[in-house]
Amino acid sequence: MNGITIVGTGHYVPGNPVLNEALARVMDTSDEWIRSRTGIQQRYFAEDGQGPSDLALPACKSALNNAQIDASDVDYIIFATMTPDHFFPGSGALLGSKLGIHGVPALDIRQQCAAIPYALQLANGLVQSGAAETILLVGAEVHAGFMPWVDWDIVRSQAEREVAPEAYARANRHRGLAVVFGDGAAAMVLRASDTPDRGFVAAELHSDGSAFDHLFVPGVGFRRIPYVTPEALEADEHIPQMRGPSLLKKAVQTLSRTVRSICEIQGISQADIDCFIPHQANDRINRAVRDALKIPPEKIPSNIARFGNTSAATIGILTDELRREGRIREGDLLCFLGIGAGLNWGVALMRL
């Protein structure tokens, strides 16, 4: 059987864009700093009460519509998120019922920003083994819940009032993390390719838990009894901690190395890759990978300016945009690459 290919894509982001200037109202940052250090100009945030399965629903409907298939044709859901609707159950089951496809297996995966290379390998295996025929792969995130400010009226609508000094100081302690993430969802419909020599080629995946402290949530977890306490919340231990500069270096090294390695193992020249679709954590990471691998700029697109880092949703949002703009087409060799909390990182190759 041929490897899986993408037969439909869609994405969805909630509400209106939040500009860098709005974040500069609630903590000591600036549009200039955020743009020059990350490439981000705006991001979106979900409303209170809106979970990743809610963002995933319109993204999935759009992908199914794009694939011209009905939700009832989906026989497997893979839901990638690090910000699930509930601590448990996973968001995949919730999404299945929202789509009206009760009973379809739904598997949540937690590879964070590296989710898509992992999920493509998984989906390919499920299809090859006969366990599934039509897979809905979703990445959806609501990071709003761990943002360090309380003044959402200022962030969302630039309300004209001052921020309390304590609130400003608290948000400021997390400013490196807070400026990079945004919310969104993306979906891909995956099926075995009809054409020989097309579809999923290979993935190279890695995890290294010894570096988990590069990006993790220190409190709120089952190492503690009870797993969440008022003290942990008071100490902001529900907000992720990130060793940004070290993670940035690791991202450049591991992604460049893994692309080289998979190409060598598969006997593929990097020049044969038509499009690199990288996770969007920081434009500086992707520019450094581009330089290290000597990739022509037009072959490694970026949309971080408009969305920020949407973790598991990122690669899917970019893929959907590229397909709809005709920038990736049937026959193209695609290289998906990402690194995230875990640490997990990976690269997947697919010929559309």
**What is the binding site for ligand UT7 (CB under 6 A)?**
29, 33, 37-38, 113, 175-176, 179-180, 215, 244-245, 247-248, 251, 281-282, 285, 309, 339-340
Choose, from 20, 66, 286, 309, the residue flagged as catalytic. Answer: 309
Would you say 74 and 104 are in contact if contact means Cβ atoms under 8 Å apart? yes
| Residue 313 in tokens | 């949703």
**Which of 250, 239, 258 shows the shortest CA–CA distance to 281?**
250
**Closest CB 37 distance from ligand UT7, rounded Å:** 5
- The active-site residue, picked from 60, 279, 282, 286, is 279
Residue with the shortest CB distance to ligand UT7:
244
Residue placing its CB nearer to ligand UT7 in the complex, 77 or 343: 343
CB of 210 to ligand UT7, least distance (A): 17
User: Which residue's CB is nearer to ligand UT7, number 64 or number 300?
Assistant: 300
Q: How near is the Cβ of 75 to ligand UT7 at its closest, in Å?
A: 31
20, 66, 113, 286: which is the annotated catalytic residue?
Answer: 113
In the annotation, is 113 catalytic?
A: yes
Give which of 133, 141, 138, 241 is closest to 182, Cα–Cα: 141
Please say whether the beta carbons of 96 and 155 come within 8 A. no
The CA distance from 296 to 289, in Å, is 11
Of 12 and 345, CB closest to ligand UT7: 345
124 is catalytic: no
21 burial (CB, 10 Å; 0-12 / 13-18 / 19+) is middle
**Tokens 């880092």 belong to which residue?**
309
Q: Is the four-CA dihedral 176, 179, 183, 185 of positive or negative sign?
A: negative
206 is catalytic: no
CB of 9 to ligand UT7, least distance (A): 21
Least distance between ligand UT7 and beta carbon 27 (Å)? 7
Q: Residue 271, CB half-sphere, CA atoms under 13 Å: how many?
A: 0
3-state DSSP percent of the chain in helix, strand and coil, to 5:
45, 20, 35
Q: Tell me which residue has tokens 């979906």.
A: 187
Which CB, 31 or 332, lies closer to ligand UT7?
A: 31
Output 256 or 309, the one with its CB closest to ligand UT7. Answer: 309
